Amino acid sequence: MTFIFRPVLVLFTVSSLCAVALAQSTPAAEQSLHVGGYGSFRFEGNDIPDRQFVPGGSAKGFTFRRFVLTTDSKLSDRLRVYSETEFERLLEIEVEKKATRESGAVKFAQEVEGNSGGEVSIEQLWLQFDLGGNQAIRAGIVLPPLGRFNINHDDDYWDLPRRTLVDRDAPAVPVKTAWREAGAGLVGSFNLGRQSKVSYQAYVLGGSTLDFNLENVAQTRVPGRSKQELEAEVRLKSGAVDGTKNAEAFSWRLAVSPTLAGEIAVSGYHGKYTPQFLSISEPINSLGLDGKWRFGKFEVEGEGIYSAFGNTQTVAAAFADAVANSSVETSSAEASPLESEIEIGLDGLARRRYGFWTDFKYHWRPGFLKKTFLGKGFEDPQIIPILRYERVWINQEIEELAFRGGAIQGLDLVSRQQHRVTAGINYRPLQRVGFQFAYEHNGRRAGDRLIFPEVAVGSSNGFLMGVTFSF
Amino acid sequence: MRYGLFAFAVPAGILTFGHTCEAQVFLTEDQALRSLFGNCRIERREKALTDEDRQALLKATGLRFPESSFRFLVAERNGATIGYSLVMNEIGKSEPITFMVAMSPEHRVVDVLVMVFRESRGAEIREKRFLRQFQGKKSADPITIDNDIVNYSGATLSSKAITRGVKRALGLFNHFYPVSGSSQRVSPAFMLPALPMPHQIGTYRQVRYMMGTLCDIRLHADSSAHASAAASAAFSEIRRLEKVFSAYDAESELSRVNREALRASVPVSADMWKLSRAAVGYAKATGGVVDVTVGPLLKALRRGDNIEEASRRVGIHKIALDAQNRTVRFMAEGLEMDFGGLAKGYATRRAAEVLRRWDIPSALINLGGSSILTQGAEGWLVGVADPASPNRYAAIISVKPDTAVTCSGTYERCIETPTGLVSEIIDPRTGQPLTGLRAAVAITASPVLGEVLSKALLLNRSARSSAQEFLLVTGRPEGPAIDPHLSRTALFT
């Protein structure tokens, strides 16, 4: 984790020093530090057969989705530092290292303890310098403003207990939400007439890149033999923040709000995603269209994302070449009954990914609610019936790649398509707390399996209950 | 690196552009008051809350009032109350948002100004387009999100905080300065808001606080931009005339005339000349019932001074107008002019002329509910408040195009005297205020004439024949149902 924290710490320190220096020349203002956060839990029941492994997760039972701690420090009227630290699907992580002397020799031991998969990450960490007139410079770890979900990803904002396919489970955005990148740019807004407002965000970013995760699997087999499996999973992830990544991406969003009732926005992301060790350059170009509108108590919100990843076969060929020109050394294979296996997976690399989602909501505040145990004592309790329809297309995804001597021998490309319909109710005793109930139907429209949950069935149905909160 | 240069190139452009935009600033209490009421005297009145008060407020508003006290800021000019305001602190997400709610003597919200915003998100609610929604609201309105207030998306908690604060402020205002019976200071709605005709749904509307009251303009236009520009031009004209005719502004032309006209003939502007000449003519025509020199009598009533002595300083014949040089001269000491409703009527007519120049096909201009003028090709519906129950209609009038509807009532504005509240409408002939719950509505071609006739109708019933059509409403209507089209005269006594 050092490679993440060191540059962040440097950035934070430099930003803070600059902010303090600048604050001294601005008029006195109320300084403040707010510590807040949000989180969510979910229970899911579905008709996926028992014991079926679901990559990416959609298991029956309870899920601790995430807990995010936020800090917001206003150093002066014009300087602000904001951070979000996320604990996702994780209860504990414990690292133990020790070096001991035993029987005349030194023994080094390193132990990692924890429960099943999860992560601790910094979702946002930026400094904002207000220029006046509603314009500001923002720099640090920021959220690329492609679409509206990524920049409004707080769980308590939403009324359903699962994030959208487009932004999370079958991402049409380059990196699933919460997608963050190191960068700097401008945010602001200006009024047009008495009612209209235009707001924008534009950042130069390090940019998403194909990155790898190493998975080490120890497997017992027949007595006396074991297998060690090393799997390198290569997928698009947020770019490195350790100073090894050039600024190779640009993301923007332009929103027009003709009235208070809503806004419509266009957005984009343009960058190079191939890592330097591949010595090729392939672009991502994403476009988004999103909006939200209120008609009294009725509300419509939606987003559409289209992402093109250039010539993915070139990327696959470059991988084949890179792997063939490298070597793996092991001395254990012949000396002991330990079988070693190395796999490389290109996860989710497709030529195009696109999709949309739309939410239809009604903010219902029945008079009787405050008289029942549900709403008694709350100022503005509301029940929100919601219907979400979403659909995702993945075109020419690399399913399987076989190569020999750096040349591609076989390449299986698949195209998949899925829709999801979710009908739910969210009870909000407070704006910041939601009790969510939803029925979810996933349907395969093309391909041999669902995109999410990734199982070889034509459809799946589930019932979800969730709790979201912020403070 | 190809985007690297862009990162530095763009901020320079925005820096230049940014300064042309409206800046979001925090306001002190004094700045907020100046912005709302201009130069005026502010009286701070502390109101402690007892448990009984809290219960009554909870019942009236459905909201809690845990505070121990509130401080009303009462704005006054020349002894007359022109507005009330409260500084509210409402929790947004975790921090209080400090804002000022200004209310008119008619118990309607004049404006809301955010003074201090401490939350990390939701600062958008400081924007005018959000706060403007509260203008004209009264305690009887729902004032709730998704009902008559549009939530600011992404700033829901802050939107709710402001909405709650405005509702609480109106509740406090009604509680400590109640509107009821004859002791009321001011009726909440003298003439109820005009209703659009069925085919006029979607009409553009703007409300601003001018001439000591809420000015409401509704109009039809090709687009919101056209409507906005036309309404802004009309409001600018009203604001300009306020600077001419305001008796409360020491810098106004009228104040200058009142100060200097005794010593010498004062040259006046075209607007001042027209209205002064008209006022002299109307005073003579009504036998002195409508007299713009009545100011000394009002002052004497407020102070409890001798009325007879004050009466000697009143009289339109003590004003000399020189048409050739367009000057005004006072012929007696202590004389003062106060155009009151006549100025409103004049401003209404001028605003209509502005809208006509902007090619607005149909419009309704409503100054404080007492002076209404329709303009253009289509008619409008105007509701007349029942004096006994101001939230009810005593009549709904279908008003033809280019017609003025003017209302005068004993409960429109009151003045505080040593013996209690009395109507601001006084009979210049006796120096006594009019008593009882009475209102008169005049329907005329000219709003200035309407102002004259509606007052004359109250004070001198012989004037009835001068109006095209008129309606006299008292507290206890016992007569037949009002003909909605007023094809004949209807009288309630």
What distances in angstroms separate CA B7 from CA A19, A250, A323, B391, one per listed residue? 20, 10, 36, 59
User: How confident is the model at residue A171, as a pLDDT?
Assistant: 93
Over range B355-370, report the average pLDDT.
84
List, for residues A153-195, the tens digit of each pLDDT value.
Answer: 999 999 999 999 999 999 999 999 989 999 999 999 998 877 8
pLDDT of B404 reads 85
| CATH topology for the B253-330 domain | T-fold (1.10.3980)
Classify residue B484 as left (phi > 0), alpha (psi -120 to 50) or beta.
Answer: alpha
Confidence of residue A140 (pLDDT cuts 50, 70, 90): very high
**In the predicted model, is pLDDT for residue A17 greater than 70?**
no
Question: CB–CB of B120 and A432 under 8 A?
Answer: no
Q: Does A135 touch chain B (CB under 8 A)?
A: yes
For residue A275, what pLDDT is reported?
A: 83
CA atoms of A396 and A379, how far apart (whole Å): 52
Enter the CATH code of domain A2-470: 2.40.160.10
Q: What is the residue-averaged pLDDT of chain B?
A: 77
Contacts of A77 (CB under 8 A, 6+ apart): A26, A27, A29, A130, B26
Q: A248 and B129: CB-CB below 8 Å?
A: no
Summarize pLDDT for A434-447 with one digit per residue, the tens.
Answer: 999 999 999 999 98
What residue has token string 């006029």?
A: B200
Q: Which of residues 354-413 of B touch A (CB under 8 A)?
A: none
Of A216-220, A416-420, B213-217, B354-358, the poorest mean pLDDT is in A216-220
The three-class DSSP label of residue B236 is: helix
Asked if B401 and B445 count as a contact pair (C-beta separation under 8 A), the reply is: no
Closest residue by Cα to residue A412 from A403, A423, A401, A420: A401
- Partnered with residue B389 across adjacent β-strands are B386
Mean pLDDT across A318-334: 60
Q: Which residues pair with A431 in a beta bridge?
A: none
CB pair distance less than 8 Å for B94 and A34: yes
SS3 B378: coil
Helix/strand/coil for B439: strand
Q: Which residue of A has its CA nearest to B163?
A: A380
List the domain boundaries for chain B.
Answer: 19-178, 183-245+354-491, 253-330
How much of chain B exceeds pLDDT 70, in percent? 78
Contact A360, A387 (CB under 8 A): yes
For residue B50, the tally of other CB atoms under 10 A from its CB is 9
Identify the weakest region by mean pLDDT among A62-76, A182-196, A316-330, B257-271: A316-330
Please tell me which of A162-176, A232-246, A392-406, B167-181 the model is most confident about, judged by mean pLDDT: A162-176
**A251 pLDDT band (50/70/90 cuts)?**
very high
- A119/A99 Cα distance (integer angstroms): 27
Give the model's pLDDT for residue B476. Answer: 39
Helix-helix angle B341-357:B270-285, to 10 degrees = 130
- pLDDT above 50: residue B283: yes
B14–A135 CB contact, under 8 Å: yes
pLDDT of A339 reads: 60
pLDDT at residue B369 above 80?
Answer: no
A82 touches chain B (CB under 8 A): yes
Give the per-residue pLDDT at B181: 36
**Does the pLDDT at position A109 exceed 70?**
yes
Among candidate residues B472, B393, B463, B404, the one with its CA nearest the CA of residue B437: B472
**Does the structure show a pLDDT above 50 at B329?**
yes
Buried b (16+ CB within 10 A) or exposed e, B421-444: bbbbbbbbeebebbeebbbbbbbb
A144 touches chain B (CB under 8 A): no
Closest partner CB to A134 (pick from B11, B21, B120): B21
Confidence of residue A74 (pLDDT cuts 50, 70, 90): confident
Least Cα separation, residue A229 to chain B (angstroms): 39
Tell whether B89 is within 8 A of chain A (Cβ): no
Report residue B6 CA to chain centroid gap: 52
SS (H, E, C) chain A: CHHHHHHHHHHHHHHHHHHHHHHCCCCCCCCEEEEEEEEEEEEEEECCCCCCCCCCCCCCEEEEEEEEEEEEEEEECCEEEEEEEEEECCCCEEEEEEEEEECCEEEEEEEEEECCCCEEEEEEEEEEEEEECCEEEEEEEECCCCCCCHHHCCHHHCCCCCCCHHHHHCCCCCCCCCCCEEEEEEEEEEEECCCEEEEEEEEEECCCEEEEEEEEEEEECCCCCEEEEEEEEEEEECCCCCCCCCCCEEEEEEEEEEECCEEEEEEEEEEECCCHHHCCCCEEEEEEEEEEEEECCEEEEEEEEEEECCCHHHHHHHHHHHHHCCCCCCCHHHHCCEEEEEEEEECCCEEEEEEEEEEEEECECCHHHHHCCCCCCCCCCEEEEEEEEEEEEEEEEEEEEEEECCEEEEEEEEEEEEEEEEEEEEEEEECCEEEEEEEEEEEEEECCCCCCCCCCCCEEEEEEEEEEEEC
Average pLDDT, chain A: 83
Q: Do B18 and A194 touch (CB under 8 A)?
A: no
Which chain B residues are within 8 Å of A133, Cβ to Cβ? 17-23
ipTM of the complex: 0.77
Residue among B470, B483, B485 at smallest CA distance from B400: B485
Q: Report the pLDDT averaged over residues B161-173.
A: 95
Q: Give the residue carrying structure tokens 């409508």.
A: B290
Please tell me the class of the B183-245+354-491 domain: alpha beta
* C-alpha distance from B1 to closest chain A C-alpha (Å): 5
Q: With 50 as the cut, is the pLDDT of residue B275 above it?
A: yes
Domains in chain A: boundaries: 2-470
pLDDT surpassing 60 at residue B235: yes
Q: Does A237 touch chain B (CB under 8 A)?
A: no
Q: Is the pTM of this model over 0.95?
A: no
- Mutual angle of helices B341-357 and B224-245, in 10-degree steps: 150
Residue A72 to residue B120, Cβ atoms within 8 A: yes
Give me B154's structure tokens: 């992404």
Q: Per-residue pLDDT tens for B453-469?
A: 888 887 775 555 555 55
Q: How far apart are CA A121 and CA A143, in angstroms?
A: 14
Out of A250, A260, A471, closest to residue B3 by CB: A250
**Chains A, B: CB pairs < 8 Å:** 121
How far apart CA A303 and CA A286 sit, in angstroms, is 13
pLDDT reported for residue B13: 36
Across B9-13, average pLDDT = 37
**How high is the pLDDT of residue A323?**
66
